[in-house]
Structure 1
Amino acid sequence: MSFGVRTSWLRVGVIGLVVGVIAGMLASAPPAQATPGPGSPLPSADPFYSYDASLAGVAPGAVLRSRPMQFRTPTMSTPITGSQVLYRTTDQFGRSVVTVATVLRPLTPGPTRLVSYHMAYDALGSQCDPSYTLSGGYTNGTATAEQGVIAGYLAAGYTVVVPDYEGEKLQWTIGRQSGYAALDGVRAAQSFLRLPQSTPVGLVGYSGGSIPTQFGAEVAPRYAPELNIVGAAAGGLPVDLAHNLPYINGSAKWAGVIPALVVAYQRTYRLDTSTFLSARGRQVAADVSDECISEFASKYAGLTSADMVKPPYTGLLDVPQVVRAINDNIMGRSGTPATKMLLAVGHYNAIGDTLMITGDVIGLADDYCSRGVDITYRQLNGLTHQEAFLPFEPLALHYLTERFAGAPTQSNCGSLPRGNSLAPLPVP
């Protein structure tokens, strides 16, 4: 059975949505601008993002401070205003930490439906934080496209919360922590807007944004059971990075992800990289340590895992510290979602979309189905990872619109092919 999706009309639809909404907003934008914005200090240097007081006894999702913001790009304003909130959340190891979310209300009032939109900011530098880009402090092609999608949700009447789910230390690809930050961002938005806990919530994200979406759905039943999550839509998922690393090894387009993962794991798990990185590995890791994925992904065309390490190692998957970190972030191992889910992935060649592994996403969908989760799997045939973003976004909007309306799903759990095993890699 084919699970492919025709993409031409979807591609046209989302482009029209983004261009039309943004054009209309920019045409009517007022000259005034709120702070923060262009010229503001980076989040790493902005006191708003830090919290020195004790977090003992502070509940997850509690708002610690807030300030107004204007939804804008570095060069253009919109009439949309919102707020940034600093809130308490939880890191990968259960410790209390803080991060920031951007809360945006629709221009047209109506029944509140809250969407937690997770941008694929894939960041090692704080200039990439969604709160900073949505305020016009920085942008890149991915951020601009996703800002247009967020504008589409606002135009459709949704209230949107956008968390900086990587946290203060920019801990990219770290699963449970990202999920906690997303769920606590919802809690913070509900508290800030004085919304009841019964407010319906949807989670959505593509690529890096699929991490807080998927892990948020997984950990919600035990971490945030009070939230009324009606659906989650995740696309382009990095299910098991032990499988992704060999796929992008030596890639012209994605090899820069390899040193970026080392940096993220060093920050999170305090890896002693001196024991395994080669001289070149140390250099490229340092080079990417304050960049966004748009800067580092294709920066090191041809770089391999073997280039990153010194003897006796032949690649990063020989390093016990790295394997343990990867195993700690395999999707599907942190809980069973209680909400309905859309899982989607591009399928460009026999393995995947040039970055993500099709069989891994099928394996995750099949595993969830076996646990009774209502899953709709969509495969975007013929599309690379970047190309699949365009059809995914209207699929996700349609899926969440139906979940908010209480419509029946189109689950295909009963007809999924067998996917890849997601068993942890043996530690060397």
Structure 2
Amino acid sequence: MRRVAFDSGVGSRLIRILVTTALLLAGGTAVIPAAVNAEPPLPADDPFYAYDQPLANTTPGTVLRSRPAPFAFPKLSTPITSTQVLYRTTTQQNKPTAAVTTVLRPLVPGPTRLLSYHMAYDALGSQCNPSYTLTGRTDSPGAVLEQAVVAGYLAAGYTVVVPDYEGLDLEWTVGRQSGYAALDGIRAAEQILGLPASTPVAMTGYSGGSVATEWAAETAPHYAPELALIGAAAGGLPVHLAHNLPYVSGSANWAGVIPAMVVSFRRAYGLDTAAFLSARGAELTDAVENLCLGQFAKRYPGLTDAEMVRAPYRSLLDVPAAAAAVNDSIMGTAGTPAVPLLLAVGQSDPIGDSVMVARDIEALAHRYCGRGVPVTYARYQHHDHIAAFARFQADAAQFLTGRFAGTPPTTNCAAIGRGNSLAPVPTPAG
């Protein structure tokens, strides 16, 4: 999601009104304007996030440690009870690792409705982690806006789990492990809250958050079959990164994601980037390697994929290891969801919403429909990626309400076209 400059006047007043109203409607005490206490260390420097004990014999989702934490907005505290949890999860290569999630309890008690909310933090630096920004330490309006959405769900009585699904090394857009981190975050939350596995759980996420949501939905039947998942809502999905790459190449607003993806894939797959990056490409990957999306997406307007590589390569997809890594994160290749889905995307130009490819998402919906999954596919005409966020949140809230109410799922599978081919890109000879 694009981050825009945060107006500390109008913007902060709007957030204050939204959050205060949500919490008061929930019957809680009013939020208290307050300065955040002394700066804690960034997650990268915080011992809470480090775990150096063997994990091979530890069950995924096991709580390793926990601590209370504030749920606060910039200069605005709240009475919400928040717990940070370090737990065991699994990497893309099926190796044990750790991640952190934040468990948020509603003010009004009632039957537990557990929602795993996946923020679009799209980050390479630990200062962007939800577990950090949810404590009020952020100047990102996008992070604050999503936190306001979370506050709305809390006000509606949901118990909300917000995982740092990119993991401790911030491996952005890497599919299966993002899904694993989301599922294991739910497992950890149920342990912390003392909830049975029969507790109904739903998931939602937009843009970067759709990565964790969709991959969790498709891997859950074999990775976390004991969880009582009842639905998943995902909007603005990067279904096939090989199709997103040429779409954002040369873009005024999104070209900065290209070097950021190289950094992420270098971390997750061990790419030898020195073997294919141009001098310009190496310079840009060094420049973005600790930034948040709002700091790099628009930073290099007009940057092309071709500028990132040196001869004989003309694209990152010409690099065998990079092409293989991209193919490893094509959505719909790891399993079939066993729950109803809402899949949504904006359409602001003939391709998509300016960054996500509409016919890719249509193709994913069509594929799942063919496997018997109840899918609702929504395309928001004349909405770019930013504008579609609000439309998706409204549809997601309605969809989730229906899932928790036990309403039979609707589907528009009969009207969903075939979309694009989601076949892997040819892997060049090494």
TM-score normalized with structure 1 length: 0.93
2:146 is aligned to 146
Residue 30 of structure 2 corresponds to residue 28 of structure 1 = yes
Q: Per-residue deviation at 1:30? A: 4.3
Name the aligned partner's letter for residue 399 of structure 1.
F
* Inter-partner Cα distance in structure 2 for 1:387 and 1:29: 29
Identity percentage over the alignment? 58
How far did 1:53 drift?
Answer: 1.4
Aligned partners of 2:116, 2:321: CA distance in 1, in Å? 33
2:204/2:396 contact within 8 Å kept? yes
Distance across 1 between alignment mates of 2:201 and 2:394: 18
When structure 1 is superposed on structure 2, of 264-273 and 49-58 the one drifting more is 49-58
Distance (whole Å) between structure 2 residues aligned to residue 19 and residue 406 of structure 1: 33
Q: Secondary structure at the match of 2:259?
A: helix
Letter in 1 for 2:277: L
- Aligned partner letter, 2:31: A
Aligned partner of 2:269: which letter? Y
The CA distance in 2 between the partners of 1:32 and 1:343, in whole Å, is 39
Pairwise CA RMSD of aligned residues?
Answer: 1.7
**Bigger Cα displacement from structure 2, 154-163 vs 415-424:** 415-424
Which residue is equivalent to 2:377?
377
In the alignment, the residues of structure 1 paired with residue 349 and residue 16 of structure 2 have an alpha-carbon distance, to the nearest angstrom, of 30
State how far apart, in whole Å, the 2-side matches of 1:186 and 1:32 are.
31
Identify the residue that residue 355 of structure 1 maps to in structure 2.
Answer: 355
Residue 17 to residue 376, structure 1, CA distance change in 2 (3 Å): farther
Amino acid at match of 2:20: A
State the partner residue of 1:12: none
Number of aligned residue pairs: 411
- Give the equivalent residue in structure 2 for 1:7: none
Is 2:210 aligned against 1:213?
no
Q: 1:17: how far off?
A: 10
Larger deviation, residues 272-281 vs 410-419: 410-419
Secondary structure, aligned partner of 2:176:
helix
What is the aligned partner in structure 2 of residue 8 from structure 1? none
Is 1:175 aligned to 2:172, yes or no?
Answer: no
1:99 aligns with 2:96: no
Deviations 1:370-407 (A, max 9, x none): 11111000111100001100111111011011011111
Where does residue 111 of structure 2 map in the other structure? 111
Counterpart of 1:245?
245
Q: Which runs of 5+ in 1 are unaligned?
A: 1-15
**217 and 38 in structure 1: CA distance in 2 versus 1, 3 angstrom threshold:** farther
Letter in 2 for 1:189: A
Partner of 1:87: 87
Pair 1:262-2:247 in alignment:
no
Q: Tell me what 1:281 maps to.
A: 281
1:384 & 1:31 partners in 2: Cα distance?
34
Match of 1:45 in 2: 45
Letter in 1 for 2:420: N
Give the 3-state SS of the residue equivalent to 1:89 in structure 2.
strand
Question: Which aligned pairs between 1:381-420 and structure 2 lie closer than 5 A?
Answer: 381-420=381-420
- What is the CA deviation profile of residues 148-197 of structure 1, one whole-angstrom value per residue up to 9, with x for unaligned ones? 00000000000000000000100000000000000000000001000010
Cα deviation 1:23-71 (Å, max 9, x = unaligned): 345992347899xx65010000000001111213211111111100111
Q: Which amino acid aligns with 1:28?
A: A
1:196 matches 2:189: no
> After superposition, what is the alpha-carbon deviation per residue over 1:289-326, rounded to whole angstroms, capped at 9, x for unaligned?
00010110000000001110111111111111111110
Residue 292 of structure 1 aligns with an amino acid whose one-letter code is C
Structure 1 residue identity aligned to 2:70:
Q
Counterpart code for 1:178? S
**Structure 1 residue 235: deviation in Å?**
0.1
Matched, 1:133 2:130: no
Say which SS state the counterpart of residue 187 (structure 1) adopts.
helix
Give the aligned residue type for 2:243.
H
Aligned to 2:319: 319
- Quote the Cα distance in structure 1 between the aligned partners of 2:147 and 2:74: 12
| Alpha-carbon distance, 1:408 to partner | 1.7
Whether the aligned pair in 2 keeps the contact of 1:180 and 1:216 (CA below 8 Å) is: yes
User: What one-letter code is carried by the residue in structure 2 that aligns with 1:184?
Assistant: D
Matched, 1:341 2:341: yes
Are 1:38 and 1:137, in contact at CA under 8 Å, matched by a contact in 2? no
Give the Cα separation in 1 of the matches to 2:47 and 2:419.
47
Q: Aligned partners of 1:357, 1:283: CA distance in 2, in Å?
A: 28
User: Conserved in 2, the CA contact under 8 Å of 1:165 and 1:182?
Assistant: yes
Partner secondary structure for residue 385 of structure 1: coil
Note the C-alpha offset of 1:409. Answer: 2.0
| Contact 1:73/1:139 (<8 A) preserved | no
Q: Measured at CA, do residues 186 and 33 of structure 1 come closer, stay the same or move farther in structure 2, by a change above 3 Å?
A: farther
* Matches of 2:255 and 2:38, distance apart in 1: 31
Describe the shift of the 1:420–1:107 C-alpha distance in structure 2 as closer, same or farther (beyond 3 A): same
Cα offset, 1:137, TM superposition = 2.3
Could you state the TM-score of these two structures normalised by the residue count of structure 2?
0.93
Query: Take 1:144 and 1:247, find their aligned partners in 2: how far apart are those partners?
Result: 28
